[in-house]
Amino acid sequence: MTWTAEAVARVQRRTVAVLAAGQVLGGIAFGATISLGALLAADLSGQEALSGLATASVTLGAALCAIPLARLAARRGRRFALTLGNLFALVGIAVVIIAAAARSFPLLLVGVILIGAGNAGNLQSRFAATDLARDDRRGRDLGFVVWATTVGGVLGPLLLTPGESVGQWLGMPPLTGAYAFSIVAQAAAFVLYVIALRPDPLKIAQQQERDRPAGSVVGHVDRPIAARYAVFAVAGSHTVMASVMAMTPVHLAHLDPAHVTTVVGVTIALHVFGMYGLSPLFGVASDRLGRIQTILLGQVLLAASLVVAAVWPQSQLAVLIALLLLGLGWSAATVAGSALLTESSAPSLRPRRQGRSDTIMTLSAAVGSVLAGVILGAIGYGGLALVALLVVVAVTALSPFARR
């Protein structure tokens, strides 16, 4: 079948809408996992010191499955990879509930790893939004799908309290009631992708590439150096964000122990808004100003955040402003970096590189978060911000390579 420009545009509009809806549903399930995972880990293990293993397990699951899911997408299409990710998450939620009922901490970690594997599929939704996007709309479409994560990310934690009531009515183990909503949302996302993500956007893009005459000037030129820089920029920005964000609640607890829950809640809420709330605007900026320019805009915002945190670490207001800027910087760099990676790669190479990018991004953030705790204990929150600033400098300094 020959795809006209009008037909491709219709498929792209449908694809973006389906992916955005899927991100909302997937975000509800993942938001509950992040909120409940640490509580369940502490409860089942009997040690608060082990509560962080839940978050680490989510990261591990996402890192382990990013490349395999990307390779499956290259062979079988986006729909197959995304629905498989949803199945992983559904099985993971069931395992977590069983682990809570059986009071098994190791089984809990297995379930959380599977949920993390499902999140690897959610991460790749942003790349699926770019498969058929026009060059002048690629950032905008990607940014809109990233923005949809905001809805699920906010709804998920808000369902914890009503979830416990539903869980008690259903006879579910304590602290697992919100997973009842997660199962429904994840199952709905699975059905949505199976039914509505047709035709598959990646398969169409691959077919268009195969149908182009050899040597055609309209074909996609592979730019491996620019693609490597995009991977580095996304991973570096994500590591800076995750490392500083992970240590902020600990730092705020020392500043105001009496009101720590309120202060941390407001600060993290604004941070999450910064991460996702303006992503469509950064997508438009990357389309109009350029990918590299928007990545550098993200580094400016990240640098401003880290300078504020380093100069005024004892001010709650300053920390709040720093976390908002941190989220905005991450958003600009991630949206533009993901768009740059896509358009710098030939369609046949995109899924593999995109999966590799997600793996490097998640593993780097995990290592960065662990090291951040050590740095925080050694030289404080302001010192951590200055160390993170070195990564921002590196991403900025290497940007000329992406122009080659």
List own/partner pairs for 63-66 with CB under 8 A and 24 or more apart.
63/116, 63/120, 63/358, 63/359, 63/362, 63/363, 63/366, 64/113, 64/117, 64/120, 65/116, 65/117, 65/120, 65/121, 66/120, 66/123, 66/124, 66/355, 66/356, 66/358, 66/359, 66/362
List the chain domain ranges: 5-211, 224-403
| Architecture label for domain 224-403 | Up-down Bundle (1.20)
Q: What is the pLDDT of residue 298?
A: 97
pLDDT tens for 80-94 read: 999 999 999 999 999
Residue 221: enclosing H or E segment and its boundaries? none
CB 60 within 8 A of CB 113: yes
Closest-CA residue to 12 (of 137, 107, 114): 137
Q: What is the pLDDT of residue 218?
A: 47
Highest mean pLDDT among 149-153, 163-167, 212-216, 303-307: 303-307
Return d(Cα 110, Cα 96) in angstroms, integer: 8
Return d(Cα 187, Cα 299) in angstroms, integer: 38
pLDDT tens for 252-292 read: 777 777 666 567 767 777 887 888 888 999 999 999 999 99
Return d(Cα 125, Cα 232) in angstroms, integer: 20
Rg of the chain on CA atoms, in Å? 21
Closest-CA residue to 247 (of 390, 370, 378): 370
Closest-CA residue to 22 (of 74, 96, 89): 89
Q: What is the token pair recorded at 312?
A: 């005024």
Q: What is the pLDDT of residue 217?
A: 45
pLDDT tens for 211-257 read: 776 555 445 678 999 999 999 999 999 999 988 887 777 777 777 77
Closest-CA residue to 275 (of 338, 354, 335): 335
CB 20 within 8 A of CB 143: no
CB 129 within 8 A of CB 8: no
Q: What is the pLDDT of residue 87?
A: 93
Q: Do domains 5-211 and 224-403 have the same CATH topology?
A: yes
Domain 5-211: CATH superfamily, name plus number: MFS general substrate transporter like domains (1.20.1250.20)
Q: What is the DSSP string of 116-164?
A: HHHHHHHHHHHHHTTSS--TTTHHHHHHHHHHHHHHHHHHHHHTHHHHH
Q: What is the token pair recorded at 61?
A: 């699951």
